[in-house]
């Protein structure tokens, strides 16, 4: 059994679950923030929609320098968020499916303006820096939905709005 035998089903499950949450975002509240220091609903959803590209980037290069910046796009509707997420998740899954154990054990480095911040195998980057990061923001988005009185889908088990799992 190879590393992809565990990673691909995890990736598929998290992308499917994330899409269920993104499907609930209300267009009329994209500018809403739960706090002045928080992302708006639209900013958070746009960030989540872009996160699968981090998997593609991790698999295609030995490092990324955040000092070079990464332009973030603010998507203007739920349909745009879903279309972007679907395209990015599909590309990331293809990149992952075309990888192998040796590539996943290759060390990847995150830098800021040339200074290394951390290095770890690409498998660990994908599980922590990409998937766990996405799960973290999906959890935030679930709270936003609850605060806006939008039904929250089941994620790892029943929710108050979807008791059947």
Render pLDDT for 8-56 as a digit per residue (tens, 0 to 9).
Answer: 999 999 999 999 999 999 999 999 999 999 999 999 999 999 999 999 9
CATH of the domain at 130: 1.20.120.450
Residue 161 lies in a domain: no
- Beta carbons within 10 angstroms of residue 90's beta carbon: 12
Q: Which two tokens stand for residue 102?
A: 């040796």
Find the mean pLDDT for residues 48-74: 91
- Beta carbons within 10 angstroms of residue 162's beta carbon: 14
- φ, ψ of residue 41 in degrees (nearest 5): -55, -45
Residue 137 lies in a domain: yes
Determine the length of the chain. Answer: 165
| pLDDT, tens only, 83-106 | 999 999 999 999 999 999 999 999
The number of distinct structural domains making up the chain is 1
Range of the domain at 94: 4-58+73-99+123-147
Residue 68 lies in a domain: no
Residue 154 lies in a domain: no
Residue 133 lies in a domain: yes
Question: Burial level of 60, CB count in 10 A (0-12/13-18/19+)?
Answer: exposed
Residue 63 lies in a domain: no
Residue 105 lies in a domain: no
Query: In the chain, count of helices (H) and strands (E)?
Result: 7, 3
Global pTM reads 0.95
- Give one DSSP letter per residue of 83-113, joined into a string: HHHHHHHHHHHHHHHT--HHHHTSEEEEEET
Residue 27 lies in a domain: yes
Instruction: Decide if pLDDT at 71 tops 90.
Output: no
């Amino acid at each position: 059994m190879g590393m992809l035998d565990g990673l691909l089903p995890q990736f598929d499950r998290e992308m499917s679950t994330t899409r269920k949450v993104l499907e609930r975002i209300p267009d009329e509240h994209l500018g809403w923030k739960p706090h002045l220091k928080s992302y708006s609903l639209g900013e958070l959803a746009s960030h989540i929609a872009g996160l699968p590209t981090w998997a593609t980037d991790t698999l295609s290069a030995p490092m990324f320098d955040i000092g070079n910046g990464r332009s973030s796009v603010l998507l203007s509707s739920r349909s745009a968020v879903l279309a972007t997420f679907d395209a990015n998740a599909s590309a990331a899954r293809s990149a992952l499916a075309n990888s192998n154990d040796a590539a996943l054990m290759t060390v990847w480095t995150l830098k800021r303006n040339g200074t290394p911040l951390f290095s770890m195998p690409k498998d660990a980057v994908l599980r922590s820096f990409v998937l766990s990061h996405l799960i973290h923001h999906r959890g935030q988005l679930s709270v936003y939905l609850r605060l806006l009185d939008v039904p929250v889908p089941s994620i790892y088990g029943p929710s108050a709005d979807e008791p059947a799992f």
